[in-house]
């Protein structure tokens, strides 16, 4: 006799809770459990989970598995005993479990509203129904169509946005900016789950067809109506992601966590925008009542609960379309160090001849702040180029004194004659020096890199040409030595997106000019 739907649902919930429990948390629980030594079976047969873990960590039996367990305060017998123990804690009360159940209910509800009861809506018609609902501004549609599995992920994004609708109105955010915020979550979910979703959607694809699609030699690839893709998205939402979560149970925790982090970040940003608008008008010159026209996020690695840098564009007050709006960079971190670093650079340069560096306006909040957007503007004359490298030398001197590192090409922007540091996280990371006194002779010895004088030189900043091993290549990733990439590069991506022929393969990508160089691309 098959289990009832309620029993199957309870089993799935238990499985999601168990598999969603991060391994570090499992180890912490295992370390904290106090077992009576007399109850530990020294002849316990290693479980399949323990054997698989041992094989991955120490396939050659070199003892690295025991060392890994020792880092966690465990030994392999204790772990095996605990894995055998059926009396494991109940984790259905995870903080992310209610969020996941809410998202699954939203998926089912979306499908029920899109498909009338007792009807057999064609999957392609259903696909069109989703597309009509997925953006407020038509200008956002192309970016949404370019997101893998957007039709499956959009209902999840929309359900999360409901709670933020009132906040966006209070913050005076336009339809395009609201689409930007939703796209931030949509693209994040696609990054996390597109590979798993594609594996489930294309599991019946023949190997020969898969190879031809990857090589880009399949005739008329992506031209047929996406019937299979549409049916997959429709059925996955209709069963509340049950089939997907059964196959990929860790997806549940990742999905709920990503949505929770995005909701928290957006609510925080919108509330701060509403509160800070008068001060931002004074600091950056944007009208206090100017609507936020764009909110482009995902421009940095996620930190501190998934938060990322967001570029805000305030609508121009002039009806002339050639007049650009004011752009401000929102950074969800303490900017006092960045503000102080810019002040030091300005103070040093003010004492030296030549043009003054660009004034980078910063507004510091409580654990966050805003920075005026710095455009990449190449030099327009030989005189400007000379001034640029003179300013770069002054910046190098300041950064070396402040012990800066990680000043590679992604952390600096060339603006006419000025090289601007846009990330000051790695100041005061220089080598510590010791001073020893022997027989009245003062001797300085480096505390780090004593055998390599270059390790504590200006090269350590990564501003000047230096080389690093990256993906089995030796590359110069410094701010001033990096090579300009070709206009078009081939990188891993998706082809024939959201069709029955969708495949992960190398795709052509337009490469922007590198912002740290004072010359244009080419």
Span 230-249, pLDDT tens digits: 999 999 999 999 999 999 98
Cβ–Cβ < 8 Å for 161, 173: no
Report yes or no: 373 and 327 within 8 Å, Cβ to Cβ.
yes
Write down the pLDDT at residue 175. 94
* pLDDT for residue 394: 94
Cα separation, 474 vs 18, whole angstroms? 43
pLDDT grade, residue 50 (50/70/90)?
confident
The pLDDT assigned to 444 comes to 46
The CA distance from 517 to 412, in Å, is 9
Q: How far is the first Cα of the chain from the last one, in angstroms, to the nearest whole number?
A: 70
d(CA 514, CA 476): 13
CB contact at 8 A, 476 and 483: yes
Mean pLDDT over 91-120 rounds to 78
Element (H, E) at 253: helix 250-284
pLDDT of 497 over the 50 cut: yes
The pLDDT assigned to 432 comes to 57
Question: Of residues 257 and 436, which shows the higher confidence score?
Answer: 257
Is the per-residue pLDDT at 343 higher than 60? yes
At residue 162 the predicted structure's pLDDT band, cuts being 50, 70 and 90, is very high
Length of the chain as a residue count: 522
**Judging by beta carbons within 10 Å of its beta carbon (0-12, 13-18, 19+), is residue 166 exposed, middle or buried?**
exposed
Residue 228 has a pLDDT of 94
Q: Taking residues 330-356, report their average pLDDT.
A: 91
| Angle ∠(373,300,308) on CA atoms, nearest 5 | 90
The set of residues, in sequence order, having a beta carbon less than 8 Å from that of 153 and lying 6+ positions away, is 147, 186, 189, 190, 193
Provide the 10 A C-beta neighbour count for residue 229. Answer: 25
**pTM summary value:** 0.84
Is the pLDDT confidence value at 440 over 70? no
Q: What is the mean pLDDT of the chain?
A: 85
119, pLDDT greater than 70: no
> Can you give the pLDDT at residue 159?
93
Q: Assess whether pLDDT exceeds 80 at residue 283.
A: yes
Identify which has the larger pLDDT, 184 or 48: 184
Q: What are phi and psi of 235, to 5 degrees?
A: -70, -35
Which residue in this structure is represented by tokens 């780090």? 448
- Of the pLDDT bands very low, low, confident and very high (cuts 50, 70, 90), residue 152 is very high
pLDDT the model gives residue 44: 52
Q: Which residue has the tokens 């690695």?
A: 301
User: What confidence score (pLDDT) does residue 84 get?
Assistant: 57
Averaged over 129-138, what is the pLDDT? Answer: 87
Band the pLDDT of 19: cuts 50, 70, 90. Answer: confident
From the centroid of its chain, how far is CA 397? 32
Query: Which pLDDT belongs to residue 86?
Result: 47
More confident call, 37 vs 392: 392
Percent above pLDDT 70 for the chain = 84
pLDDT at 35 over 60: no
| Percentage of the residues of the chain whose pLDDT score is greater than 90 | 50
- Give, for 178, the enclosing helix (H) or strand (E): helix 175-201
- Confidence check: pLDDT of 445 > 50: no
Write the CA distances from 494 to 147, 213, 223, 297, integer angstroms.
9, 11, 15, 21
Question: What average pLDDT does range 443-461 have in this prediction?
Answer: 64
pLDDT at 301: 80
Q: Which phi and psi (to 5°) does residue 105 adopt? A: -65, -35
- Asked whether residue 469 carries a pLDDT value surpassing 80, the answer given is no
200-219 pLDDT, tens digit per residue, is 999 999 999 999 999 889 99
Most confident of 13-27, 31-45, 99-113, 265-279: 265-279
Tell me: pLDDT of 508 over 70.
yes
Question: Cβ of 155: how many Cβ atoms within 10 Å?
Answer: 23
pLDDT at 352 exceeding the cut of 80: yes
Examine the pLDDT at 327 and tell me if it is beyond 50.
Answer: yes
pLDDT band of 85, cuts 50, 70, 90 = low
Helix (H, G, I), strand (E, B) or coil at 372: strand
Choice among 34-43, 144-153, 392-401, 491-500 with the minimum mean pLDDT: 34-43
| Residue 83 scores a pLDDT above 80 | no
Helix (H, G, I), strand (E, B) or coil at 20: coil
At residue 337, the pLDDT reads 92
Q: Is the pLDDT of residue 398 over 90?
A: yes
Instruction: Pick the range with the lowest mean pLDDT from 146-155, 259-268, 464-473.
Output: 464-473
Q: Which residues contact 91 (CB under 8 A, 6 or more apart)?
A: 17, 18, 20, 21
Measured CA to CA, the distance from residue 189 to residue 192 in angstroms comes to: 5
Question: Is the pLDDT confidence value at 56 over 80?
Answer: yes
């Amino acid at each position: 006799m098959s289990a009832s739907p309620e029993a199957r649902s309870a089993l799935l919930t238990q499985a999601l809770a168990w598999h969603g429990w991060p391994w570090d948390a499992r180890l912490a629980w295992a370390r904290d459990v106090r077992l009576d030594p007399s109850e530990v079976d020294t002849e316990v047969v290693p479980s399949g989970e323990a054997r698989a873990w041992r094989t991955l960590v120490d396939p050659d039996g070199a003892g690295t598995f025991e060392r890994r367990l020792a880092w966690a305060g465990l030994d392999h017998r204790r772990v095996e005993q605990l894995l055998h123990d059926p009396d494991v804690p109940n984790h259905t009360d995870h903080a992310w479990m209610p969020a996941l159940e809410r998202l699954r209910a939203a998926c089912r509800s979306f499908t029920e509203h899109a498909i009338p009861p007792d009807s057999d809506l064609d999957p392609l018609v259903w696909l069109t129904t989703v597309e009509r609902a997925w953006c407020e501004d038509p200008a956002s549609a192309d970016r949404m169509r370019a997101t893998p599995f957007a039709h499956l992920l959009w209902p999840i994004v929309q359900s999360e946005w409901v709670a933020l609708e009132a906040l966006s109105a209070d913050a005076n955010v336009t339809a395009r900016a609201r689409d930007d915020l939703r796209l931030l979550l949509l693209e994040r979910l696609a990054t996390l789950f597109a590979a798993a979703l594609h594996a489930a959607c294309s599991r019946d694809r023949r190997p020969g067809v898969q190879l031809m699609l990857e090589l880009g030699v399949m005739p008329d690839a992506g031209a047929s109506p996406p019937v299979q893709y549409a049916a997959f998205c429709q059925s996955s939402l209709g069963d509340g992601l049950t089939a997907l979560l059964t196959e990929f149970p860790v997806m549940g925790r990742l999905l709920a966590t990503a949505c929770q982090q995005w909701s928290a970040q957006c609510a925080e940003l919108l509330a701060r925008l509403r509160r800070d608008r008068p001060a931002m008008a004074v600091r950056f010159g944007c009208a206090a009542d100017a609507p936020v026209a764009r909110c482009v996020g995902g421009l940095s690695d996620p930190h501190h609960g998934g938060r990322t840098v967001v570029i805000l564009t305030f609508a121009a007050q002039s009806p002339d379309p050639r007049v650009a709006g004011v752009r401000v960079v929102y950074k969800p971190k303490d900017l006092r160090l960045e503000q102080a670093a810019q002040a030091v650079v300005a103070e040093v340069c003010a004492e030296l001849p030549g043009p003054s560096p660009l004034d980078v306006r910063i507004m510091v909040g409580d654990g966050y702040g805003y920075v005026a957007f710095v455009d990449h503007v190449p030099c327009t004359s030989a005189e400007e180029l000379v001034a640029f490298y003179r300013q770069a030398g002054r910046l190098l001197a300041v950064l070396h004194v402040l012990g800066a590192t990680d000043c590679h090409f992604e952390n600096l922007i060339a603006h006419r004659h000025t090289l601007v540091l846009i990330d000051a996280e790695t100041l005061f990371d220089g080598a510590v020096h010791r001073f020893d006194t022997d027989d009245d002779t003062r001797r300085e010895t480096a505390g780090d890199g004593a055998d390599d004088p270059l390790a504590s030189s200006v090269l350590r900043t990564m501003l000047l040409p230096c080389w690093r091993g990256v993906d089995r290549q030796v590359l110069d990733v410094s701010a001033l030595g990096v090579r300009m990439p070709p206009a078009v590069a081939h990188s891993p991506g998706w082809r024939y997106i959201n069709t029955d022929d969708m495949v992960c393969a190398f795709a052509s990508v337009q490469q922007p000019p590198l912002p740290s160089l004072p010359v244009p691309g080419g």
